[in-house]
Structure 1
């Protein structure tokens, strides 16, 4: 049973992570077209997208290190407000002059939005772990489920609002909702006060433990593969199977849907069988890796391209990658076992590390696609 305060915390953090997924994906359906009208190149569009994740990579460890000094509640609410304001500001950028001024303004606003997302993402994971130390895997999986739902919902919601109200509509709507969540959180979210950690403790000191380093690399590989097919798969579906844009969009929903459904389930399994963590994540990644071989399929299999096989591979890929939600549990258990105190500050260090590696995978997608 949860207290009302804890129940409110879970609900608001799930909603915030849903919007975090929206921040990442809402630009996809219409921004590249709008950017072309404003005389922005494809490379510059990629930089606008990737700058969001690049900021998360850089600042998440900083937030993790100083969570106890900044204050978990203050960091969370400040991050929420920054995201909300930046979302609204992005909606009026289309009034800027074409070319370089437009590109620079997009880049600045998107980077500040990344600062806000890193703040409330790092704080929310740390607070959830602190409130539910015996259910870390389940809570992390639940937050990831809502992040996955946000990634799924971003393109259709963004496209629909764009058609209804123009360029500003998606960003004004999203920003308004997130500001309301921030206002409610000011009064409802409990304050968290902790003592300062010794200066020798830092996010990157956790990487000296092989299990944590290996787990972070698994996290990086998993987040990288989640969006790696965004460009090539759409071309493959159109040329090989002659699918319309609508059906291509439905196929793209398959993997994140499987990911969202299984994320909290893996968490529950690990809570009952904690010693199975490494075996589960190993099995999941092998399954996800094999599914990539058959999506094409790889030439050395000498198998004809098949839509049913492709969809099954996307399902198994999503199920496999969803095991990355176990990484938070593995890193937490290892960190505590190595003598770190079971405090909010320690969870802040872990959250900053996890957030940074997770964002690095998504940033790799933008970097590789632009190359």
Structure 2
């Protein structure tokens, strides 16, 4: 039975062509360290890491490679921002669509005296930026917003939120977990002080690598969540202030960075906008197919420019988990069922506690697969 992968919101598959070969070649022939060796191979490898930072800067319109901090993933980056920036008495504003990668660290910080509020989104996952403005207090230090919902795909207006934050001198952090590689993100236009991204989703890189881009002011204000050797300022017992070293102790996931660099090169070659347009065509085709199916409730927005390629369905007369099980076992279609680590988003959308069946599409999916999935759903719904 042919397998069809519709879980790109969890991790992309397949990855960028040649990714495994590029990582394997590094491990087999160039598996040295950086900032720890005074020999030519180490210097050459450090040049490749800089090239990876340059590719990240081009993608997100960042003006300085030193502001790119590599992390093991978006969750670690979000923890580093929240726990490195906030102190007792500080106030944070998030949205009602946030992932547990934001909510759980904030729950920990709340126990230590950090205050936080949720700006309420509507039943389609949309946020009126004025809801952010209403929640601002004198002690508000940070606004953190997910850019694209991992549950229903609705996009949050980050440029408008960024303007509000800049007017009120509040730090702004964008969680681009679902949109890095699926949307044009310009750090300058959205006035972001921190942009958090995973490497393994729409950027088509390997698991275990991601990053954050920090404004100079954000980097100066944050305390490092982790500390240790950096290969720089080794005579000091304190962490160095220079970037990216301040937030990158220990040995980096160099094979992961090499893989990410390879994936970013593939995206540049294919063209980000071209890949976005293909995913939009696929998503719109799926939305058209399921739009008139009886017993199916579309969660979030219909086809349009204000959503990404994540679609959630609620099967009114059937158990969602059973539908997902049958899709895989009878038709080879892999989806994700449940609450998607975002229970409050489901409460906002009216799908708590049952959750949804999530279909998330990537640039390697096809219209043929979409039509096959629609036929499978019709057969399941008919008995």
Higher strand proportion (structure 1 or 2): 2
Q: Which has the higher contact order (CA 8 A, sep 6+)?
A: 1
Larger proportion of helix: 1
Say which one has the larger Rg.
2
TM-score calculated relative to the size of structure 2? 0.27
Compute the TM-score of the two structures, normalised by the length of structure 1.
0.27
